[in-house]
Amino acid sequence: MRNTAISGVCVALSLAAAPVVTTAWAQIAVSSNDHKVKQENGVTSNADNPTPDSITILDLGQSPVKVLGTVNNVPGSVVGPPTSVAITPDESVALVAASTQIDPADKTKTKPDTKVSVVDLKGQKVLDTINTGAGAAGISLTKDGKRAYVANRMAGSVSILALDGNKVSLVKTIDLVPAAALLSHVAVSPDGATGVATRNGDAKVAVVKLGPDSISEKATLEVAPRPYAVSITPDGKYAVVASLGDPKANGMFTVIDISGDQPKIVGTVDIGHESLEGAMMSSDGKWVAGVAHAGSTRPKDAPQFKPNGMLVLYKLDGDKLTKTSEAPIGAWSQGVSFSKDGKTVAAQNMIQKNIQVFKNDDGKLTDTGQKIEVGGGAAAIRSSTDR
């Protein structure tokens, strides 16, 4: 008994001296789920008696991926790029934009929305709603998490938000391009000085200088039709723009050198599938994943119809993109997100209302078989380390 007691005391002292191990909050992704719309045989319409939009909070650092919670009444939208979510570096707050809402005057129609919801991820509750501009869509944060830039798709403007802990405020909204240009997403360089904004309506991107309360245009470049999502490499040298492509052609990646005074296109890649809806770069800049509709949004009697979308994976080496793998996913698929180490890839499916989980084994995609139900159409996704 005496030996047992001494041993117990030693164990207790040893535990007391050891550092406390807590669950790492470092692999969080948020899926914005649009409950308002449906698509049947290639035709999109408002859902009948929809429940409120929601977000699903995921831990991509666990295998299988763990669902940490759901927050209801967080407006979102499938309209616009699936980058309408951003997470602060400390993973305490998510910003979720809603580009459209149901028109209260005619529930069969939608109209532009202006809302950006501020969500406490640990408390799993909405803290505030900021009104930016019409068609609030793609969001990006500076590396220090103190500024967010929101592309207002129907207004041609960018709203700058200031973040201080869980308090978010509107600094100003700056008109940047004509409304018809459909400004969709602004990516931010690691040093916070440069932005790359996609103009979905006129097949251009604007390279801009960013300040805490200012935006000024540096250059405008023509890219493949309907550019949407864009990522910037960790060294700030290159931007990779994803374009849906011409409705009769395939999606395209465009690589832009943004390091000099005169930004220039240094490469283009045809992904081999139509409608490159979403794309994301891994935190180390080594991988770029894209989500293509690939014919899954066509009417079933259309020659281009295919039952599934495609997830494509590219290796980025300097300014060179090389396809390493692809895999079938669901239909009307949207965004994609990486775990911090780039080895887990989560892809969203609107039709199936779920998220499929893949493993990236040095460029080879493997479907894990895990499908995470999210209750509404999985419309946008981001982790704190996605670029």
Residues 30-45 pLDDT 10s? 999 999 999 999 999 9
pLDDT at 381 over 60: yes
Structure letter (DSSP) for residue 331 = S
Look at 92 and 5; give whichever has higher pLDDT: 92
Structure letter (DSSP) for residue 179 = G
What pLDDT is recorded for position 386?
86
Contacts of 206 (CB under 8 A, 6+ apart): 176, 177, 196, 197, 199, 217, 218, 219, 220
Q: Within 10 Å of residue 367's Cβ, how many Cβ atoms?
A: 15
Q: For the chain, what percent of residues have pLDDT higher than 70?
A: 93
Whole-angstrom Cα distance, residue 145 to residue 142?
Answer: 5
Contacts of 91 (CB under 8 A, 6+ apart): 25, 26, 28, 121, 384
Three-state DSSP at 56 gives: strand
Instruction: Tell me the average pLDDT across 108-130.
Output: 97
- Measure Cα distances from 153 to 112, 119, 146, 345 in Å: 9, 22, 23, 27
Spatial CA neighbour of 97 closest among 148, 48, 63, 46? 148
Whole-angstrom Cα distance, residue 278 to residue 353?
Answer: 16
What pLDDT is recorded for position 87?
97
Whole-angstrom Cα distance, residue 381 to residue 311?
Answer: 15
What pLDDT is recorded for position 6?
35
What pLDDT is recorded for position 197?
98
Three-state DSSP at 140 gives: strand
First to last CA, the chain: 59
Look at 260 and 36; give whichever has higher pLDDT: 36
Contact at 8 Å (CB) between 137 and 84?
Answer: yes
What pLDDT is recorded for position 315?
98
What pLDDT is recorded for position 387?
82
The DSSP code sequence of 78-113 is SSS-S--EEE-TTSSEEEEE--EEE-TT-TT-EEE-
What pLDDT is recorded for position 26?
59
Look at 52 and 386; give whichever has higher pLDDT: 52
Q: Is 128 exposed, middle or buried (0-12, 13-18, 19+ CB in 10 A)?
A: middle
Q: Order of strands across the sheet with 136-141?
A: 136-141, 147-152, 157-164, 167-175
pLDDT at 25 over 90: no
Mean pLDDT of the chain: 93
Q: With left for phi above 0 and alpha for psi between -120 and 50, is residue 343 left, alpha or beta?
A: alpha
Residue 4's φ and ψ, nearest 5 degrees, are -60, -40
Q: In this structure, what token pair is assigned to residue 110?
A: 């939608």
pLDDT at 183 over 60: yes
What pLDDT is recorded for position 15?
36
Structure letter (DSSP) for residue 6 = H
What pLDDT is recorded for position 289?
98
Instruction: Tell me the average pLDDT across 268-272.
Output: 98
Q: Which CATH number fits domain 24-383: 3.20.20.70, 2.130.10.10, 3.40.718.10, 3.30.70.141?
A: 2.130.10.10
pLDDT at 14 over 50: no
Instruction: Tell me the average pLDDT across 202-224.
Output: 96
pLDDT in tens, 228-244: 999 999 999 999 999 99
Q: Within 10 Å of residue 271's Cβ, how many Cβ atoms?
A: 24
Say if residue 234 is preceded by a cis peptide, omega within 30 of 0.
no
pTM: 0.92
pLDDT at 67 over 60: yes
pLDDT in tens, 323-343: 999 999 999 999 999 999 999
Reported for 243-249, long-range contacts at CB under 8 A and 24+ positions apart, including other chains, are 243/203, 243/276, 244/274, 244/275, 244/276, 244/277, 245/274, 245/275, 245/276, 247/274, 249/225, 249/274
Whole-angstrom Cα distance, residue 208 to residue 116?
Answer: 23
Band of residue 12 on the pLDDT scale cut at 50, 70, 90: very low
Whole-angstrom Cα distance, residue 240 to residue 236?
Answer: 11
Whole-angstrom Cα distance, residue 125 to residue 93?
Answer: 10
pLDDT in tens, 308-318: 999 999 999 99
Domain ranges of the chain: 24-383
Three-state DSSP at 176 gives: coil
pLDDT at 3 over 70: no
